[in-house]
Structure 1
Amino acid sequence: MSHLLEVRDVHGGYHKTEIVHGVSFTVEHGEFVCIIGANGCGKTTTLKTVLGLMKPTAGEVLIDGKSTHDMDEPELARHFAYIPQAHTPPFPFNVADVVLMGRTPYVNRLAVVKPDDRAIAWRAMKQMSIEHLADRPYTALSGGQQQLVLIARALTQEPDLLVMDEPTASLDFGNQQLVLSRMKSLSRAGMGVVMVTHDPDHALFCADKVIVMEKGLVINEGTAGEVITNDTLRQIYGTNVHVIDVEIEAGHTERVCIPL
Structure 2
Amino acid sequence: MGGVTPLVEARGLAVGHGGRTILSGVGLSLHHGRILCLLGPNGVGKTTLFRTLLGLLPPLGGEVLLGGSPLAGLGRSQVAQRLAYVPQSLATPFAWRALDLVLMGAATRLGPFARPGPAETARAEAALALLGIGDLATAEITRLSGGQRQMVLLARAIAQGAEAIAMDEPTASLDFANRIRVGKAIRGLAARGLGVLMCTHDPDQAAELGDEALLIERGGVLAAGPVAEVMTAARLTRLYDIPVRREALPEGRLHFSGPSD
Common fold, TM-score beyond 0.5?
yes
SS in 2 for 1:104: helix
2:255 maps to which residue? 256
SS in 2 for 1:253: coil
Q: Distance in 2 between matches of 1:63 and 1:173?
A: 34
1:73 maps to which residue? 76
8 Å CA contact 1:75–1:105 kept in 2: the answer is no
Q: Distance in 2 between matches of 1:44 and 1:88?
A: 18
Deviation readout 1:157-185 (Å, 9 max, x if unpaired):
10121001111111112111111110011
Deviation at 1:187, TM superposition (A): 0.6
Residues 162-181 of structure 1 mapped to structure 2, 5 A cutoff: 162-181=165-184
**Is the aligned partner of 1:191 residue 2:191?**
no
1:41 is matched with which residue: 34, 40, 44?
Answer: 44
Q: Identity, % of aligned pairs?
A: 37
2:93 maps to which residue? 90
Q: Which runs of 5+ in 2 are unaligned?
A: none
Deviation at 1:88, TM superposition (A): 2.5
SS in 2 for 1:105: helix
1:240 is matched with which residue: 235, 239, 243?
Answer: 243
1:62 is matched with which residue: 62, 65, 68?
Answer: 65
Q: Distance in 1 between matches of 2:97 and 2:219?
A: 40
Q: Distance in 1 between matches of 2:188 and 2:115?
A: 32
2:105 maps to which residue? 102
8 Å CA contact 1:11–1:22 kept in 2: the answer is yes
**Is the aligned partner of 1:201 residue 2:204?**
yes
Amino acid in the other structure paired with 2:254: R
2:29 maps to which residue? 26
Deviation at 1:108, TM superposition (A): 3.2
Q: Distance in 2 between matches of 1:98 and 1:4?
A: 25
Tell me the TM-score normalised to structure 1 length. 0.95
8 Å CA contact 2:9–2:27 kept in 1: the answer is yes
Aligned residues: 256
Deviation at 1:190, TM superposition (A): 0.3
Amino acid in the other structure paired with 1:222: G
8 Å CA contact 2:107–2:120 kept in 1: the answer is no
SS in 2 for 1:256: strand
Q: Distance in 2 between matches of 1:30 and 1:253?
A: 21
8 Å CA contact 2:165–2:194 kept in 1: the answer is yes
SS in 1 for 2:109: coil
**Is the aligned partner of 1:124 residue 2:127?**
yes
Amino acid in the other structure paired with 1:255: L
Deviation readout 1:82-115 (Å, 9 max, x if unpaired):
1001112331011111111112322234332111
1:112 maps to which residue? 115
8 Å CA contact 1:213–1:219 kept in 2: the answer is yes
Q: Distance in 1 between matches of 2:233 and 2:111?
A: 52
8 Å CA contact 1:8–1:25 kept in 2: the answer is yes
**Is the aligned partner of 1:9 residue 2:7?**
no
State which drifts further: 39-48 or 187-196.
39-48
SS in 1 for 2:72: coil
Deviation readout 1:135-178 (Å, 9 max, x if unpaired):
11111111111000000001111012100111111111211111
- RMSD value, Cα: 1.2
Q: Which runs of 5+ in 1 are unaligned?
A: none
SS in 2 for 1:78: helix
State which drifts further: 179-188 or 143-152.
179-188
